[in-house]
């Protein structure tokens, strides 16, 4: 069984400040890990993915995440927040074989303070 | 190359009715997955279709059913609608090589009154 825990349902940061959104996973098999972003009244957009290659993954819009097996974490960061980053962010896990369903966390709503 | 498209955008039904939601997968993608996202929650996996066959199912009752067509488009059918079925229904497609990487449509928002 796989699961994802996102710490902090709401995170607020000032424009230009560091963004850090936390994700911890549980998986009995080597995981694939994903971050998706959802803007109001829209679907999910893939930000970045970890699929067992480099542990530091760079995504779109200046975001990156680091896979840390020892900590079972896959935290999302961005050095400098922009107003357009305000959205809901979801961490997800899947396995690398069999049914490739995604198991999502409950999401973190990111607010940017001008 | 077109992305994943879903129709309709919004839908209002009453309890006990039946609904059909539609999804066109991204070009070249033969796997379609459906998710239910209740308000304030993360998406929950309903089922997945691969080459017109169901390829895994989440914890949803049999009144949730689906189809995949030869062109890889898909339908989600829900019978005997309940109030708790009110949610955003998301369709995602993936290609034969990178099955784990799923690309989502904008969703269909279903309201059950």
Residues of A within 8 A of B56 (CB-CB) are 98-99, 101
Residues of B within 8 A of A34 (CB-CB) are 101
Contact B100 A101 (CB under 8 A): no
- The mean pLDDT value for A50-66 works out to 91
Q: How far is A100 from chain B (nearest CA, A)?
A: 5
CA B43 from chain centre, in angstroms, equals 11
The 10s digit of each residue's pLDDT in B29-52 is 999 999 999 998 999 999 999 989
B45 and B54 in contact (C-beta within 8 Å)? Answer: no
Q: Which of B5, B26, B40, B42 best probes binding to A when mutated, by most A CB atoms within 10 angstroms?
A: B42
What is the structure's pLDDT at A97?
63
The 10 Å CB-count burial string (b at 16+, else e) for B4-41 is bebeeeeeebeeeeebebbbbbbeebbbbbbbbbeeee
Mean pLDDT across chain A: 92
Contact B41 A106 (CB under 8 A): yes
The 10s digit of each residue's pLDDT in B58-82 is 999 999 999 999 999 999 999 999 9
What is the structure's pLDDT at B101?
84
What is the structure's pLDDT at B1?
53
* CB proximity list for B91: less than 8 A, separation 6 or greater: B4, B6, B21, B23, B25, B32, B33, B34, B35, B74, B76, B104, B105, B107
What is the structure's pLDDT at A96?
62
- The mean pLDDT value for A36-53 works out to 89
């Amino acid at each position: 069984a796989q699961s994802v825990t996102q710490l902090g349902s709401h995170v607020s940061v000032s424009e230009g400040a560091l963004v850090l959104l936390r994700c911890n996973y549980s998986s009995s098999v080597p995981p694939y890990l994903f971050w998706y972003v959802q803007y109001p009244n829209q679907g999910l957009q893939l930000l970045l993915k970890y699929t067992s290659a480099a542990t530091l993954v760079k995504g779109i819009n200046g975001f990156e995440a680091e896979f840390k097996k020892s900590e079972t974490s896959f935290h999302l960061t961005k050095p400098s927040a922009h107003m357009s980053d305000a959205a809901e962010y979801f961490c997800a896990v899947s396995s690398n074989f069999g049914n490739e369903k995604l198991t999502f966390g409950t999401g973190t709503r990111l607010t940017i303070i001008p | 190359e077109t992305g994943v498209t879903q129709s309709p955008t919004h839908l209002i039904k009453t309890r006990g009715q039946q609904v059909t939601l539609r999804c066109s997968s991204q070009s070249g993608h033969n796997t379609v997955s459906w998710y239910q996202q209740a308000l304030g929650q993360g998406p929950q996996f309903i089922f997945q279709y691969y080459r017109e066959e169901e390829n895994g199912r989440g914890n949803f009752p049999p009144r949730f059913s689906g189809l995949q067509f030869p062109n890889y488009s898909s339908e989600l059918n829900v019978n005997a609608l309940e109030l708790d079925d009110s949610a955003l229904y998301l369709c995602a497609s993936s290609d034969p090589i990178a099955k784990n990487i799923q690309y989502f449509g904008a969703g269909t928002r279903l309201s059950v009154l």
